[in-house]
Chains A and B, each alone.
Chain A
Amino acid sequence: MGPFIDPFLDNGFMLRALLAGVLVSIACSVVGTFVVLRGLAFIGDALAHGVLPGIAAALLIGLPGIVGAAAGALAMIGGVTLITSRSRLSSDTAIGLLFVSMLALGVVIVSRSNTFTGDLVTILFGQVLGTSVGSLVIQVIATAVVVVVAGICARPFLLLSFDPEQADVAGFPSRRYHAIMLLLVALTVVVSFQTVGTLLVFGMLLAPASTGALLAHRVSTMMLIACVVGALSCYVGLLLSYWLDLAGGASMVLVATCVFFVVFVSVSWREARRAARRPVVGSTAR
Chain B
Amino acid sequence: MTDAVVASGLSIGYPGDVVVDGIDVRVRMATSLALVGTNGSGKSTLLRTIVGLLRPVSGSLRVLGATPGASPRRVAYLAQSRASSFILPLRAIDVVRMARFPHLGLWRRASAEDEALVAQAMVTMGVEDLAEAPVRSLSGGQRQRVYLAQVLAHRADLILLDEPNAGLDAGGYERYLQAFAGELHRGAALVTATHDIREAIEYDQVLLLARRVIALGRGDEVLTPDRLMETFGILIRDRHAEHAGRFTVAEPTRGAPQVIDIGDPDSD
Check: B134 CB closer than 8 A to any chain A CB.
yes
B-binding residues in A (CB < 8 A)? 36-39, 152-153, 155-156, 158-159, 161-166, 168-172, 212-213, 216-219, 221-222, 285-286
> Per-residue CB proximity of B89-124 to A under 8 Å, as 1/0?
111001100100110111100000000000000000
Contact at B98–A166, with CB atoms within 8 Å?
yes
For B83, the closest partner residue in chain A by CB is A163
In angstroms, Cα B102 to Cα A23, docked, is 33
Between-chain CB contacts (< 8 Å), 12 pairs: A37-B87, A37-B88, A38-B85, A152-B106, A153-B106, A156-B106, A162-B84, A166-B82, A168-B52, A170-B98, A216-B89, A219-B90
Contact at B130–A286, with CB atoms within 8 Å?
yes
Size class of B's contact patch?
35 or more
In angstroms, Cα B95 to Cα A222, docked, is 16
In angstroms, Cα B52 to Cα A38, docked, is 23
Binds A, one of B4-12, B73-81, B218-226, B229-237: B73-81
Given contacts A37-B88, A159-B98, A286-B137, list 11 more A-B pairs with CB under 8 A. Answer: A37-B87, A161-B85, A162-B82, A162-B90, A165-B53, A166-B77, A169-B51, A216-B89, A217-B134, A218-B89, A221-B89
Q: Which residues does chain A contribute within 8 Å of B31, judged by CB atoms? A: none
In angstroms, Cα B134 to Cα A216, docked, is 9
For A171, the closest partner residue in chain B by CB is B72
For B82, the closest partner residue in chain A by CB is A163
> Per-residue CB proximity of B41-78 to A under 8 Å, as 1/0?
00000000001110000000000000001001101010
Q: How many A-B residue pairs have CB under 8 A?
A: 83
Contact at B89–A165, with CB atoms within 8 Å?
no
In angstroms, Cα B107 to Cα A152, docked, is 7
> Per-residue CB proximity of B115-152 to A under 8 Å, as 1/0?
00000000000000010111001110010000000000
A-binding residues in B (CB < 8 A)? 51-53, 69, 72-73, 75, 77, 79, 82-85, 87-91, 94-95, 98, 101-102, 104-107, 130, 132-134, 137-139, 142
Contact at A169–B82, with CB atoms within 8 Å?
no
Contact at B102–A171, with CB atoms within 8 Å?
yes
In angstroms, Cα B73 to Cα A172, docked, is 11
Q: Which residues does chain B contribute within 8 Å of A153, judged by CB atoms? A: 106
Q: Which residues does chain A contribute within 8 Å of B72, judged by CB atoms? A: 169-171
In angstroms, Cα B133 to Cα A226, docked, is 21
- Chain B nearest Cβ from A30, distance in angstroms: 15
Contact at B89–A169, with CB atoms within 8 Å?
no
